[in-house]
Structure 1
Amino acid sequence: MADEQTRTQIEHADGRVELRAGIVLDDPRLYNEDLAPTQVARRTWTTYTYAALWISMAHCIPTYMLASGLIGAGMNWWQALVTILVGNAIVLVPILANSHPGTKYGVPFPVFARAAYGVFGANVPAILRAIVACGWFGINAWIGGQALQTFFRSLWAGWPAALGDAPVGGHLMTEWLSFGLFWSLNILIAYRGMDLLRKVENLAAPFVLVMTAALVVWAIDRANGLGKIMSDPGKFPTFGTFWPVFVPSVTAMIGFWATLSLNMPDFTRFGRSQKEQAVGQVVALPTTMTVFSAMGVLITSASTEIYGKPIWDPVELVGHFESRVLVAVAMFTIVVATLSVNIAANMVSPANDFANIAPKSISFRTGALITGIFSVLMMPWKLIADPEGYIFKWLLGYSGGLGAIAGVLICDYWFIKRTQLELADLYRREGRYAYGPPGGLGTNWNAVIATFVGCFLAWIGLLVPALRDLFDYAWFVGGASSAALYGVLMRRAKP
């Protein structure tokens, strides 16, 4: 194996690997320019780039509203923030584990998944991941559309009824138009590629943070204090009453970034070093998620004093402002925040995942368009309508499936293959990752079986009330069971 790797790839002193000159990758079923290994010379993202990436992705409306579902379930403010912090600290572990191969080998997530699932079997985790991303993309596109709707209304009071005052599908025609405009803006930027994305993230991170901090100061000043939410003791005064709600809530918090815990290679493939990508993520993810959620709690609590009711949705809150200039600035901030997270977190990965199905026919740009179309079909306006349902149904439910995939990937890369991959074979139908005879299906059925067993165990609690605890721990159950089963199956399999 060592001799073969010497012939096909070179490992630099910093641990990053690239193909030797003369190695040809041209199989149209497994390769296109978007899926190709990133050359070492192009791996230029720094610590700041990764910190800015996470700050930009965390500074979004779903994060701002994250505590609302927890407080709505009966937690007080500090219990909600502790839950968010714990969940994000835990999900950081698989994020870093799956970030390593991206920086080392320069490959995107669906190509990395080929090492465990097979060169064609990798489409199973890629599509499962892409479906979830489509849902997330739609949620953020709907939020961005609502921000545009509020902005247009601030400029012209008659805007909401400009295309008729009869709701269509529960919403005015101008709401659908605003949604379509924001959706199109996402697609347009995605078509410009990763370099523009990096620039957008670097600029959006400090801008959104400063503007949100200014909104916190304004809200506390107008309310002459912190408001009622900050003094509410909640419904769980003891550990015994808090724990049954804490566990599924932490699992839901993990679900919030369970998508990125799989596809971080899509970003770390551009990393300058393992240390820089790891430090940037460790510093930015748990802290930003907790701080931004805390800002949402403070502003919402103050809104109770200002407007007589708690307003969790910042788009609705800005709609109460009297100054058109203030509304315009606030809406621009929300649009920037939503745009930066949506493209980075919810479009890059599914675009690559769809491209992985048929690289010859589907480019990154085509994959981005497919993502946008599927996001509309998933009706995101219904997913976001109920904050508590959004936390405990949407996030908790899919975390089990993504946990099962993460378990297989981490077990395979760190414990089976010991971080050593044959880069060229990730793009070959008859290489070591074909997992079968020449001309076969190119699928590692051990990985597929382990994944679906993990999903089954994570979700069975939805159908069998006596096993509800398994669903409450969905991400942990899916990840641990799939990793354990995969390890056993691979140890028993022939090399």
Structure 2
Amino acid sequence: MKTQIEQNGIVTLTEEEAKRLNGSELWNDDLRPTTFKEHSWKGLNFAALWIGMCLCIPSYTMASGMIALGMNWWQAVGTIFLGNVIVLIPILLNSHAGTKFGIPYPVFARLWFGDKGAHIPALARAIVAAGWFGINTWIGTGAIDTLLAASFSAWRNLPGHTAIVFVFFWALNVGVAYKGPEAIKRLSFIAAPVVGISSIILLVWAFTHSGGWGPILEQPSKFKTTGEFLKVFFPALTGVIGFWATLALNIPDFCRYAKSQKSQMVAQSFSLPITMTVFSFIGIAVTSATVVIFGQAIWDPVQLLAKFPPFVILLGAIVIVISSLTINIGANIVAPARAVENLYPKRITFGIGVLITGLFAILLQPWYIMSNFGNYIFGWLGTYAALLGPIDGIAIADYWLVRRKQLDLKELYEPNGRYNYATGFNKNGIYALVIGVVIPVLGLLIPGLRFLWDNAWTFGLFIAIGVYTYLMKGDKSVLREGEYEKITIIENTTYDVKRNLIETELTK
């Protein structure tokens, strides 16, 4: 029986099958596959999404941490560019699955871990997202607090004023997040041009008021040998990769709405690495100029904002708030909310998932993570990259190497289906995850193997790919030859239209 339709590379369930699965405990309106009509995001939407998410304060300050550790400006910018090109590869590979089958990340994870085991990678991603949610909320809090302190002298003396702002801004983020992915689509179109134009204005201001680019762009590297440089380069590169290793996993949450594979691939390929690299350079250039203008290097844009008149602070705070909202909703709310929702689809809503994410973000203490660059690059980015690398590897291996882009869509929503793996857990996925995490961790325990930890994401990813692919050989969950064609109605609208036009011309 045919249960799914493939049209121009996009697969959906038949109406009959969708109605039948509506009563499944693994199905709800947020987790179900998207319909053909819902595949409405064009390349411009994905470009706006990435530009909006990249133009955030952590991106602005990322290079500053590397310069503080001894790099010169072009070494820092080069590291950021390379890291984003590398992480773009798993992003595009996992985007294909979301676009083709219209499934969100927690459902995609059922393929590799089983319907119960999927909670492991989903919640791992959720914890990281909650941390980022807190970080960006804390950054937005600083901007608003600076505005109020500059505008009202009494505000600075009010006990707990920063905490008050944090609570209100946290509530704003949670409230907007209830709107879901479509809100991101609209917000990105606003944020991308507003934050982008503001960044250019800031760069022009810095150049004209400093009479040039300032001393930081002339500052040489502190490393005397290649070996000294590489000791910092590799963990910094891992940190850059880790910055978007989160989205490399749950990118299906957005690509499930893509109009076509080509549109999302082209848009993401250009917008992510270019935006991150250019914005990081702006951060370096502006900070370099502050040495000339103010006599000190001001890496934090919120602290730089405090140097301006109240009206400029107001405009700057609005831009930072928009930026923080965009990345929080786009990168840090959807994944954990979906993960929590997936725990009990029939009872837990997306809104409840958003609220739980917000509360957990507070428990992770974002003010401590951002207290110094060591916590940020080596502690936060490096540690979760070691966890997410193997999960990325398992996702890529399962979809591309084990199943070769073919799956039975309805079985992802069957409690006792082929992706249940009898117990609800795919032990092969768990084994691959454990091995992919443990081997890099040895680099923390054995000094001679430190290179494993410094490149934890990369080693974890390739180890997990190899282990998972080997363990899944001949697995019963994999469709046999010809089985995909038996369950799929394959239509090619573009081909059919061209064929009809040719036949019409030949009969004239």
Structure 1-normalised TM-score?
0.94
> Alignment partner for residue 157 of structure 1, among 150, 153, 158?
153
The question of whether the paired residues in 2 share the 8 Å contact of 1:72 and 1:388 is answered with: no
Corresponding position: 1:446 with 2:428 = yes
Query: Match for 2:4 among 2, 6, 9?
Result: 9
Q: In the alignment, which residue of structure 1 is the partner of 2:170?
A: 183
Q: Secondary structure at the match of 1:213?
A: helix
Does the residue aligned with 1:32 lie in a helix, a strand or coil?
coil
Please tell me the root mean square deviation across aligned C-alpha atoms, in Å: 1.2
- How far did 1:238 drift? 4.4
Partner of 1:477: 459
Match of 1:18 among 6, 12, 27: 12
In the TM superposition, 1:372-411 aligns within 5 A as 372-411=358-397
CA contact (8 A) 2:174 2:355 kept: yes
Match of 2:212 in 1: 225
Q: 1:192 aligns with which of 171, 179, 196?
A: 179
Match for residue 53 of structure 1?
49
For each residue in 1:40-96, what CA deviation from the matched residue of structure 2 results, as whole angstroms up to 9, or x when unmatched?
101110111000100000000000000011001100000000000000000000000
In 1: Cα distance, 2:418 partner to 2:322 partner: 44
- Partner of residue 31, structure 1: 27
* One-letter amino acid of the structure 1 residue matched with residue 429 of structure 2: A
User: How far apart, CA to CA, are the structure 2 residues paired with 1:155 and 1:477?
Assistant: 50
Q: Share of identical aligned residues, percent?
A: 46
Give the secondary-structure state (helix, strand or coil) at the position aligned to 1:235. Answer: coil
TM-superposed CA distance for 1:36, in Å, is 1.0
In the alignment, the residues of structure 1 paired with residue 375 and residue 80 of structure 2 have an alpha-carbon distance, to the nearest angstrom, of 17
1:355-384 deviation digits (Å, cap 9, x = unpaired)? 111111211111111110000000000001
Shift of 1:481: 0.9
TM-fit CA distance, 1:237: 4.9
Match of 1:77 in 2: 73
Tell me whether 264-273 or 356-365 shows the greater mean CA deviation. Answer: 356-365
Give the match's secondary structure for 1:257: helix
Whole-Å separation in 1 of the counterparts to 2:181 and 2:376 = 30
User: 1: CA distance between counterparts of 2:220 and 2:76?
Assistant: 12
Give the Cα–Cα distance (whole angstroms) in 1 for the partners of residues 42 and 176 of structure 2. Answer: 22
Structure 1 CA distance for aligned equivalents of residues 84 and 334 of structure 2:
21
Q: Which residues of structure 2 form unaligned runs of 5+?
A: 478-508
Matched to 2:16, the amino acid is: G
CA shift, 1:307, in A, is: 1.3
Partner deviation per Cα, 1:287-323 (whole Å, 9 max, x = no partner) = 00000000000111111111111111100110111x1
Letter in 1 for 2:249: L
Alpha-carbon distance in structure 1 between the residues aligned to 2:404 and 2:283: 42
1:139 paired to 2:121: no
In 2, distance between residues paired with 1:417 and 1:28?
Answer: 24
Please say if 1:343 is aligned against 2:339: no
Matching of residues 405-424 of structure 1 within 5 Å: 405-424=391-410
Q: Does 1:67 align with 2:53?
A: no
Spell out, residue by residue over 1:87-110, the C-alpha distance to the aligned partner (whole angstroms, 9 max, x if none). 000000000000011111111001
1:301 maps to 288
- Preserved CA contact (<8 Å) 2:24 2:415: no
Taking the TM superposition and a 5 Å limit, the aligned residue runs for 1:217-366 are 217-321=204-308, 323-366=309-352
Shift of 1:193: 2.4
1:139 is displaced (CA, Å) by 0.4
Determine the C-alpha separation between the residues in 1 that align with 2:29 and 2:373: 40
1:407 partner letter? G
Q: Which amino acid aligns with 1:469?
A: F
Deviations 1:91-142 (A, max 9, x none): 0000000001111111100101111111111111001110111111100011
Q: CA deviation at 1:154?
A: 2.4
Higher mean alpha-carbon deviation, 355-364 vs 51-60, is at 355-364
The DSSP-based 3-state class of the residue aligned with 1:491 is coil
- Distance in 1, Cα, partners of 2:4 & 2:388: 31
SS at 1:22 equivalent: helix
Corresponding residue SS for 2:12: strand
In structure 1, list runs of 5 or more residues that go unmatched.
165-172
Distance 2:398 2:236 in 1: 29
SS in 1 for 2:170: helix
Shift of 1:243: 2.1
- Which amino acid in the other structure matches residue 261 of structure 1? A
Q: Which amino acid aligns with 2:100?
A: K
Shift in Å, 1:393: 1.6
Once the two structures are superposed, residues 432-490 of structure 1 have per-residue CA deviations (whole angstroms, 9 ceiling, x without a partner) of 10112xxxx31111001111111111222223323211100100111111111111111
Read off the aligned partner of 2:14 and give its amino acid letter: R
Amino acid at match of 2:374: E
How many angstroms apart in 1 are the aligned matches of 2:318 and 2:24? 42
CA shift, 1:239, in A, is 3.2
> Are the counterparts in 1 of residues 24 and 413 from structure 2 also a CA contact under 8 Å?
no
Q: 1:186 is aligned with what amino acid?
A: N
Structure 1 residue 397, shift from structure 2 partner: 1.2
CA distance in structure 1 between the partners assigned to 2:258 and 2:249 by the alignment: 16
Alignment correspondent of 1:167: none
Farther off after superposition, 252-261 or 18-27: 18-27
Q: Displacement, 1:240?
A: 3.6
Separation (CA, whole Å) in 2 of partners of 1:190 and 1:245:
37
How far is 1:27 from its partner? Answer: 4.7
State the TM-score, normalized to the length of structure 2: 0.92
Whether the aligned pair in 2 keeps the contact of 1:27 and 1:427 (CA below 8 Å) is no
Alignment-mate amino acid for residue 476 of structure 1: T
Q: What is residue 37 of structure 2 aligned with on the other side?
A: 41
Which of residues 84, 102, 105 in structure 1 aligns to 2:101?
105
Kept after mapping to 2: 8 A contact 1:401/1:458: no
Amino acid at match of 2:339: D
Whole-angstrom distance in 1 between the partners of 2:32 and 2:337: 14
Query: 1:462, 1:194 → 2: CA distance?
Result: 39
